[in-house]
Amino acid sequence: MDILLQQIINGLVQGSIYALVALGYTMVYGIMGLINFAHGEVVMIGTLVSITVAGSLIEAGMPVSLAGMAGLSASVLACMALGWGLERIAYRPLRNAPRLTPLITAIGMSIVLQNLAMMIWGRNYLTFPSFLPKIDFELAGANFTAIQVIIVVVSATTMGGLLLLVYRTKLGMAMRATAQNPAVASLMGVNINRVIAAAFVIGSALGALAGVMVGSYYEIAHYQMGFMLGLKAFTAAVLGGIGNLAGAMLGGVLLGIIEALGAGYIGDLTGGFLGSNYQDIFAFVVLIVVLMFKPSGLFGEKTGDRA
C-alpha cells in the first residue's frame, strides 16, 4: 500500500511538470495548429539559464533563496524572449506555407538551440544549486519532500492563473477567438500577430518555470534534457486532446502517475521479465491505446484533416 501511495505522489510531481510543459505545446497548437517542436529546447534553456544565474549569485554571496528567485526570474525572462524570437524567426514567415514546413523549421530551431546550449554550457551534466531546504514529510507510510510539495502547489497555482487569463481577460478572449477562426477574429479587431506571439511567450514562460522545477527536483541538468521531457509533455498534451488547456493539465498529471505506477509495478506484472528500464514505454503505449479508442484524445475537439 505504501508503495502505491509513494508512486502516486512521485507521479503527481512528475506529472505537474509534464502538465506545465504540455501547456506550452497545447496553447500554440490550439491557436495555430502547429507542433512547436522546439518547446522542449526552450525548457532546457530555461533550466540552464537558472543554473548559471543562481549559481553565480550564490557564489557571489547572495542568500540562497534570493538567488533562487533571481535565477527563476532570469530564466522566465530569457525563455519569454526566446519564445518570442522563435515565433518571429521560424513560424511567422511561414504562416501560409504548407503544413509540414513549420514542422521542419521547428526541428531546425531545436537542433540550433541544442547545439548553442552545448557550446555555452558544455557537454557535461551540471548540478543544480539547491535553493530549498531539504525537509522530509511522511504521510501514511509514504515519504515526500518540501520540493515535491512546492512543485505541485506552484504548478497548480500557475495553471489556475492561466485558466483565469484565458477565460477572464481580454487577451484570453482574443486567444480563444483566434483559435476558433483567425480570419474572423482579425475582422473583429483582434491583432492576430500579437495574440500568437503572446501564446508563444506565455507558453515559454511556463516552460521556464517547469525547467527550473525539473532542475531543482533532480538537481541535475544537461543540454539534451529538453528532448525526452518535451516528447513526454507533447504526448501528455495529445493524450488530453491537443489544443485543450484542461486536457493538457490532466493529460500531464495522468501521464506522470501512469509512468510512476508502471515503473513501480512492471516487474511484478510481467514476472520479472520487464524491468523499470521500460519506464519510458508506458507513456507511448498508453497514448496509442487511448487514441485507438478516443481518436482525438481524452478531452479533444475534432482537429484538422491533413498531415
CB of 128 to another protein, least distance (A): 22
The CB-of-248 to another protein minimum distance in angstroms stands at 13
What is the C-alpha to C-alpha distance for residues 43 and 227, in angstroms, rounded to an integer? 9
Residue 85 or 160 having the CB closest to another protein = 85
> Please, what sign has the CA dihedral across residues 60, 63, 68, 70?
negative
Which CB atom, from 183 or from 188, has the smaller least distance to another protein? Answer: 183
At closest approach, how far in Å is the CB of 104 from another protein? 5
Q: Which residues pair with 220 in a beta bridge?
A: 127
Residues of this chain that bind another protein (CB under 8 A):
29, 35, 89-90, 93-94, 96-105, 107-112, 114-116, 118-119, 227, 231, 234-235, 238, 242, 272-275, 277-278, 280-281, 283-285, 287-288, 291-292, 295-297, 303-307
126-127 and 220-221 strand pairing: antiparallel
d(CA 115, CA 118) in angstroms, rounded, equals 5
Nearest residue (CB) to another protein, 217 versus 282: 282
> Residues 234, 20: contact at Cβ < 8 Å?
no
Closest CA to 32 of 165, 270, 203: 203
CA distance 64 to 57: 8
> Whose Cβ is closer to another protein: residue 125's or residue 284's?
284
Query: Least distance in Å: CB of 60 to another protein?
Result: 27
CB of 32 to another protein, least distance (A): 12
User: Is 217 in contact with 111 (CB distance < 8 Å)?
Assistant: no
CB of residue 105 vs another protein: minimum separation in angstroms? 5
- Considering the complex, state which of residue 157 and residue 276 has its C-beta at the smaller distance from another protein: 276
- Residue 81 or 104: the one with the smaller Cβ distance to another protein is 104
> Closest CB to another protein among 102 and 129?
102
Per the DSSP assignment, residues forming a β-bridge with 127 are 220
> DSSP letter string over 38-96?
THHHHHHHHHHHHHHHHHHHHHTT--HHHHHHHHHHHHHHHHHHHHHHHIIIIIGGGTT
Q: How far is CA 65 from CA 47, 131, 132, 296, in A?
A: 16, 6, 7, 43
Q: What is the nearest approach in angstroms of another protein to the Cβ of residue 136? A: 32
